């Protein structure tokens, strides 16, 4: 049996999902509550903790950012603590990877960027190229001012974002906020990370 737990805390709302032999399960726990307590309750529900059908994941897929400072801190602390008690393989993803991988309509050979509002007049960005076999990350995420972001994005054909507008002179396509279930998809961009650390890219206030 293959059991994979996915934890998404880089965006404003915490999300959790479990794959059991490819079947995706979602918790009924309200995840708009406090991040830390909601995350623990949702995972306990999915894994059947303290019940007769308790299961343990073989692997944990987790978004390491960039994104919400508080969310990343809570999510990654949970994962690191969990694997100390229950050893499991950790596969990490950048938040921008999830948005890039879902854009299957982009033609092969086309370069594009994914940008996210980092606030404080800064933007997160990462570059990608659509290949016949999937999507390739050309550069890891960065955090730039709008002016530097425009320079950095030169040569790209379009920009993807979860926002309704971005400070770029490129075709812009708004995408939905990634979910934990997206972390369970075969994006080709997941990488093993035995001690995942949050990708903040900018210091908190």
| CATH number, residue 31 | 3.30.420.40
In-domain check, residue 198: no
In a shared domain, residues 84 and 111:
no
Residue 203 falls in which region: left (phi positive, over 0), alpha (psi -120 to 50) or beta = beta
In a shared domain, residues 32 and 65:
yes
In a shared domain, residues 9 and 90:
yes
In a shared domain, residues 56 and 111:
no
In a shared domain, residues 161 and 186:
no
In a shared domain, residues 84 and 15:
yes
In a shared domain, residues 152 and 188:
no
Q: Does the CA dihedral 144-145-151-155 come out positive or negative?
A: positive
Structural domain including 8 reads 3-94+179-192
In-domain check, residue 197: no
In a shared domain, residues 16 and 90:
yes
In a shared domain, residues 85 and 116:
no
Q: Are 75 and 20 in contact, with CB atoms under 8 Å apart? A: no
In a shared domain, residues 90 and 183:
yes
In-domain check, residue 58: yes
Read off the pTM. 0.93
How far is it, in rounded angstroms, from Cα 41 to Cα 78? Answer: 12
Structure-derived torsion over alpha carbons of residues 131, 132, 135, 138, reported in degrees to the nearest 10: -20
In-domain check, residue 203: no
Tally of domains in the chain = 2
Q: Are 192 and 90 in contact, with CB atoms under 8 Å apart? A: yes
Per-residue pLDDT, 37 = 82
In-domain check, residue 158: yes
In a shared domain, residues 89 and 133:
no
How would you list the strands of the sheet with 134-144, edge to edge? 134-144, 122-131, 111-119, 158-161, 171-174
In a shared domain, residues 184 and 84:
yes
In-domain check, residue 23: yes
Q: Are 75 and 14 in contact, with CB atoms under 8 Å apart? A: yes
In-domain check, residue 202: no
Query: In tens digits, what is the pLDDT along the chain, a chain of 205 residues?
Result: 899 999 999 998 899 999 999 999 999 988 875 667 889 999 999 998 655 557 899 999 999 999 999 999 999 999 999 999 999 999 999 999 999 999 999 999 999 999 999 999 999 999 999 999 999 999 999 999 999 999 999 999 999 999 999 999 999 999 999 999 999 998 899 999 999 999 999 755 5
Query: Which CATH number fits the domain that encloses residue 135?
Result: 3.30.420.200
């Amino acid at each position: 049996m293959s059991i994979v737990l996915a934890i998404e805390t880089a965006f404003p709302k915490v999300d959790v999902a479990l794959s059991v032999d490819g079947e995706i399960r979602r918790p009924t726990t309200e995840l708009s509550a406090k991040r830390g307590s909601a995350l623990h309750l949702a995972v306990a529900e999915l894994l059947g903790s303290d019940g007769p059908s308790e299961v343990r994941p073989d692997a944990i897929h987790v978004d390491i950012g960039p994104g919400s400072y508080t969310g990343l801190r809570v999510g990654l602390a949970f994962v690191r603590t969990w694997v100390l008690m229950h050893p499991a393989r950790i596969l990490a993803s950048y938040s921008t990877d999830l948005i890039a991988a879902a854009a299957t309509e982009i033609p092969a050979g086309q370069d594009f960027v994914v940008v996210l509002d980092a606030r404080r007049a800064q933007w997160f960005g990462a570059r990608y190229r659509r290949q016949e076999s999937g999507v390739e990350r050309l550069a890891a995420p960065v955090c730039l001012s709008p002016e530097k972001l425009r320079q950095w994005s030169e040569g790209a054909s379009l920009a993807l974002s979860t926002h309704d507008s971005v400070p770029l002179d490129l075709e812009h396509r708004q995408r939905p906020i990634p979910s934990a279930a997206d972390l369970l998809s075969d994006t080709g961009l997941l990488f093993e990370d035995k001690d995942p650390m949050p990708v903040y890219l900018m210091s908190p206030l």
